[in-house]
Amino acid sequence: MNRVKYENFQIDQQLEPIKVGPIQHMDLVRYAGASGDFNPIHTDPEFAKKVGLDGTIAHGMYVMAQVGKLLTKNFHLHQIKKFGVKFKGMTRPGEVLICTGKVKKKIDESKTILLTLEAASESGDVKLSGEAEIACD
């Protein structure tokens, strides 16, 4: 990804959304191996049911990583200065995530743009919301 220019962005401009999924059980098993988070609520459907869930749920950080893909698709990695989220809901295998971003604010002095971010299911159930700070050229 090439470095982006400050003047190419306007307040309320939407990033092109990305669609992820449907999420498969194997995606969660692979993520557990990559992250080291082997909590069985993410990988063992029977265990998840025993603790009151209706099956496994995705790692919150797996969902955050999908929004991270939205950022790295649109911005050079070195321009992403801050990226934070709040988890809002559980994501289950079979769901499709829509990851979106919108320019919230532009700071002329530092050529910085602030984005609002969201990951939601196709039915609109918000899984996480967040913000990112991008240092533009």
Which domain CATH number covers 95?
3.10.129.10
- Residue that is written with structure tokens 């919230």 in the block: 104
How confident is residue 110, by pLDDT bands cut at 50, 70 and 90?
A: very high
Contact indicator for 114, 104 with CB cutoff of 8 Å: yes
Residue 32 in domain:
no
The beta strand positions in the chain, using DSSP E, are 18-20, 80-87, 97-107, 112-121, 126-135
Host H or E run for residue 47: helix 45-50
- Identify the CA nearest to 1 among candidates 93, 70, 99: 70
Is 45 among the domain residues? no
What pLDDT is recorded for position 1? 74
Edge-to-edge strand list for the sheet holding 126-135:
18-20, 97-107, 112-121, 126-135, 80-87
Q: What is the mean pLDDT of the chain?
A: 96
The number of C-alpha atoms within 13 Å of 120 and in the hemisphere containing its C-beta is 11
In a domain, 128, yes or no: yes
Q: What are the tens digits of pLDDT across the range 116-125?
A: 999 999 999 9
Other Cβ atoms less than 10 A from the Cβ of 18: the count is: 17
Tell me if 37 sits within 8 A of 59, measured CB to CB. Answer: yes
Kindly report, residue by residue over 30-68, the tens digit of the pLDDT: 999 999 999 999 999 999 999 999 999 999 999 999 999
Given a cut of 90, whether residue 2 has pLDDT beyond it is no
**pLDDT value, residue 92:** 96
Domain contains 54:
no
The answer to whether position 85 is within a domain reads yes
41 located within any domain:
no
Residue 83 domain flag: yes
Q: Which domain holds residue 75?
A: 6-23+62-135
> How many domains does the structure of the chain reveal?
1
Does any domain span residue 93? yes
